[in-house]
Amino acid sequence: MARTDPHAVLLHKFADRSAHIAILGMGYVGLPLAVAFAEAGFTRVTGLDIDAGKLAALQRGESYVEDISAERVARIVGVNLFTSSDFDATLASADVAIICVPTPLNKTRDPDIRALTAASEAIARALHPGMLISLESTTYPGTTDELLRPMFEARGLRAGQDFFLVFSPERIDPGRKDFVVETTPKIVGGVSPACCEVGVALYRQAIRSVVAVSSSQAAEMSKLLENTFRAVNIALVNEIALMCDKLGIDVWEVIDAAATKPYGFMKFTPGPGVGGHCIPLDPHYLSWKLRTLNYNARFVQLADEINSGMPAYWVGKVQDALNEHEKAIKGSRVLVLGVAYKKDIDDVRESPALDIIELLRQKGARVSYHDPHVPRIDHGGVTLRSEPDLAAALDAADCVVVVTDHSAYDWPAIARQARLVVDTRRALPRA
Ligand code: SAJ
């Protein structure tokens, strides 16, 4: 290939680490990725974000993502990791643009791709021959080829010849230590074989295992399968819990017994519902797309129905438990233990604890919470702060409801001290 051939030029810039890599969105996905490319030796990695606070923190050598230490940021910032809020200027000189912006749901639980669209428009404005664009944000199948590709080709350049376009799903699990961005296999699917080849060549510079698939749609769909798989299986085990409750069988004993099967079974556990920014949301990108094709993604709908119903189920259990002690839920003091969406993290996004608190308040309970990772929550127009004295809060509570089983809690001590406990996570020792 001629040295001026965009494909060859890019591969060469990847090999000698001279490619200028721009990361759009420096959150829990973009920052670890930027650090991975900088630590792989790329001489210029620019983190772009609309949040000046994030950029300023990085400039000070600080980190706001638990998986990336401040020391790692301080070592590379200003050396080969840079930050900017000037998307146009940065992208004008970028060889690679990787989109890592949020793709939430809107109020009607339909895809909200405003951030993704804005990022893509910025890239389109600065698009020049020899660019590789990779979309990492979780989205519906077809986004890369049907939305981004026309946006870019409208600039008179051709995908696969003048520029290269891939989808490569993020697989960052905040707080996980055994698999990090460099050691988690990375899927890459291009809008053409040449695009895929260029995308694989880039990621191989920083990530140990890169897996090519035949199209951007296959890559988009693989990510949705991964997280829909979890949502559906969590819903299954939640429904098994509802069934066992009706049958008077201990669901935890049943799950532990099934989990002894060394093949053909994967353990999931029932709980208060499903939180986080992935599992409760991603499957709706799939069902939304299929609705436009007149297909009803029944598993997605049913999983959401069951998982979303768990907070009300557990509030009913609190009401029953108080009733057993001849107390009305109205006016009773209920302490929620743990509000993060899963243990040992501080993230409350989509947390079922927020729904449980709201439902308890609607029934007239006097609700407080304690969470060692979450000092304050603002939800439904109400601000609550974590109880400063756990022992006092346990003493004062008519009922304690365990929602998040943080490792920091001394569960046997809580079992001894609380007068009444509803445990949604089997955190307490068996009575
Ligand atoms: N949950 C249950 N029962 C289970 C598993 C989870 O009730 O058996 C609940 C959790 O408490 C939480 C929600 O579901 O509220 C989601 O939990 P999760 O373990 O799926 O954690 P997430 O949301 O942080 O999912 C991330 C995802 N990572 C990416 O999307 C890159 C997911 O694909 C990972 O598999 C997951 O982390 C993980 O395994 O930790």
Q: What is the pLDDT of residues 180-226, one digit of tens each?
A: 999 999 999 999 999 999 999 999 999 999 999 999 999 999 999 99
Which pTM does this prediction carry? 0.94
Query: Which numbered atom of ligand 1 lies nearest the CA of 282?
Result: 30
The owner of tokens 């999931």 is 268
pLDDT over 70 for what percent of the chain? 99
How confident is the model over 121-143, as a mean pLDDT?
98
pLDDT band, very low/low/confident/very high, at 4 (cuts 50, 70, 90): confident
Assign 185 to helix, strand or coil: coil
Measured from the CA of 176, which atom of ligand 1 is nearest? Answer: 40
Inter-CA distances, 54 with 22, 234, 279, 378, Å: 16, 34, 25, 21
**Any catalytic annotation for residue 278?**
yes
Q: What is the per-residue pLDDT for 110?
A: 94
- 266 CA distance to ligand 1 middle (Å): 14
On average, the pLDDT of the chain sits at 96
Q: What six digits make up the tokens of 358?
A: 């709201």
Residue 247's CB is within 10 A of a number of other CB atoms, namely 10
What pLDDT band is residue 392 in, cutting at 50, 70 and 90? very high
Q: Which of 86-95, 104-113, 200-209, 315-324 has the lowest mean pLDDT?
A: 104-113
- Summarised one tens digit per residue, pLDDT across range 295-308 is 999 999 999 999 99
Hey, CA dihedral for 152, 153, 154, 157, is it positive or negative?
positive
132-135 and 164-167 beta bridge pairing = parallel
- The mean per-residue pLDDT over the stretch 60-74 comes to 95
Do residues 403 and 272 touch, judged by C-beta distance below 8 A? Answer: yes
Which pLDDT score, from 0 to 100, does residue 175 have?
81
Q: What number of other Cβ atoms are within 10 A of residue 162's Cβ? A: 18
At 291, is the pLDDT very low, low, confident or very high (cuts 50, 70, 90)?
A: very high
Pocket of ligand 1 (CB under 6 A): 170-173, 226-227, 230, 234, 268-269, 271, 274-276, 278-279, 341-342
- At 431 the pLDDT is 60
Query: Which strand (E) or helix (H) includes residue 397?
Result: none
Confidence of residue 331 (pLDDT cuts 50, 70, 90): very high
148 has pLDDT over 90: yes
Pairing state of beta strands 333-337 and 132-135? unpaired
pLDDT at residue 429, rounded to an integer: 84
Written as six digits, the tokens of 62 are 């600080």
Q: What pLDDT score was predicted for residue 330?
A: 98
Query: For residue 267, which atom of ligand 1 is closest to its CA?
Result: 8
Q: Quote the pLDDT of residue 2.
A: 56
pLDDT of residue 66: 83
How many A from CA of 366 to the centre of ligand 1?
Answer: 30
| Contact call for residues 426 and 252 (beta carbons, < 8 A) | yes
Ligand 1: which residue has its CA nearest to atom 23? 276
Q: How many CB atoms lie within 10 A of CB 147?
A: 16
Reported for 301-308, long-range contacts at CB under 8 A and 24+ positions apart, including other chains, are: 302/235, 303/228, 303/231, 303/232, 303/234, 303/235, 304/231, 304/235, 304/280, 305/235, 306/235, 306/238, 306/239, 307/231, 307/234, 307/235, 307/238, 307/273, 307/274, 307/280, 308/273, 308/280
With the most atoms of ligand 1 within 8 angstroms of its CB, the residue from 67, 234, 348 to mutate is: 234
Predicted pLDDT of residue 3: 59
Which of 137, 171, 223, 230 gets mutated to test ligand 1 (max ligand atoms within 8 A of its CB)? Answer: 230
pLDDT (average), residues 333-361? 96
**What is the per-residue pLDDT for 324?**
97
Whole-number pLDDT of residue 380: 84
pLDDT band for position 51 (50/70/90)? very high
Sign of the CA dihedral 176, 182, 187, 189?
positive
Does the pLDDT at position 1 exceed 60? no
Q: Give residue-wise pLDDT tens across range 262-273.
A: 999 999 999 999
Domains belonging to the chain, first-starting first, are: 6-214 (3.40.50.720), 252-423 (3.40.50.720)
